[in-house]
Amino acid sequence: MPVRSVLRMGDPRLLQASARVTQFHTPELSALIRDMEDTMRAERGSGLAAVQIGVPLRVVLFGYGFNPRFPACDPVPMTVLINPQIEPIGTERESAWEGCLSVPGMRGLVPRHTHIVYRGLDAEGKTIQREASGYHARVVQHECDHLDGILYPSRIEERDQFGFVGELEAAGRLATGALPCDDTANTDSRRS
Ligand code: NI
């Protein structure tokens, strides 16, 4: 299946709000999800929103395996989430470094809710509801932001906590080589 090119920051299509999916079991939806899976795998991402491949529908995909560098991150199975909703649990937030396939080569320190409940539908139109914490919660919040046209740089609160990976590593902010892939955060988090 085709790997699609990922839109990059500056493309106005990334700033649009995506529309709800109203029809399930269609060949178009199946093809979209396959393309998203292939693209995310090819780009070694841990999450992708449909709008990043130019389809402004409320569909996100995320999932990642166990990474020995980040034993605190439980693996999350590959999940398709359609028309998602997020509800924070409590008020705790934490900051961690994020990247995005639409902002290649860069990282920024982004505060997110530490604990959330998310709900949505799977590709068959069945309900998904999960509680998530830490990195899992972060990925879901990052991907759902894409559906409202929000890219992580606009969530950064401290302007010196954003830059290119090489420069941040040279400055001792990011551990060298410690980032598993793009569109992810590492777990070098701090409470905020
Ligand atoms: Ni992203």
- Rounded Cα distance between 110 and 98, Å, is 7
Q: Kindly state the percentage of the chain with pLDDT values over 70.
A: 87
Residue 100 Cα to ligand 1 middle (Å): 4
For residues 128 and 179, the model is more confident at: 128
Distance set, CA 114 to CA 48, 70, 91, 167, 182 (Å):
20, 17, 8, 28, 21
- Rounded Cα distance between 161 and 43, Å, is 24
pLDDT in the model for residue 8: 98
Confidence band for 71, pLDDT divided at 50, 70 and 90: low
Domains along the chain with CATH numbers = 12-191 (3.90.45.10)
In the chain, the N- to C-terminal Cα span, in Å, equals 42
Average pLDDT rounded to a whole number, residues 142-152: 98
List the single range of 88-92, 109-113, 169-173 with lowest mean pLDDT: 169-173
Identify any residues that bridge with 163 across adjacent strands, giving them in sequence order.
Answer: 107
- What residues contact 40, with CB distance under 8 A and at least 6 apart? 46, 47, 48, 61, 101, 183
- Rounded Cα distance between 97 and 78, Å, is 22
Average pLDDT rounded to a whole number, residues 60-72: 76
Residue bearing tokens 């700033």:
15
Catalytic residue (choose from 43, 92, 143, 158): 143
Residue 68 Cα to ligand 1 middle (Å): 23
User: Does residue 16 register a pLDDT over 70?
Assistant: yes
Identify any residues that bridge with 162 across adjacent strands, giving them in sequence order.
Answer: 108
User: Does residue 157 register a pLDDT over 70?
Assistant: yes
What is the tens place of the pLDDT at every residue in 89-103?
999 999 999 999 999
Residue 187 Cα to ligand 1 middle (Å): 17
Residue 48 Cα to ligand 1 middle (Å): 6
28 is catalytic: no
For residues 44 and 86, the model is more confident at: 86
Average pLDDT rounded to a whole number, residues 161-188: 69
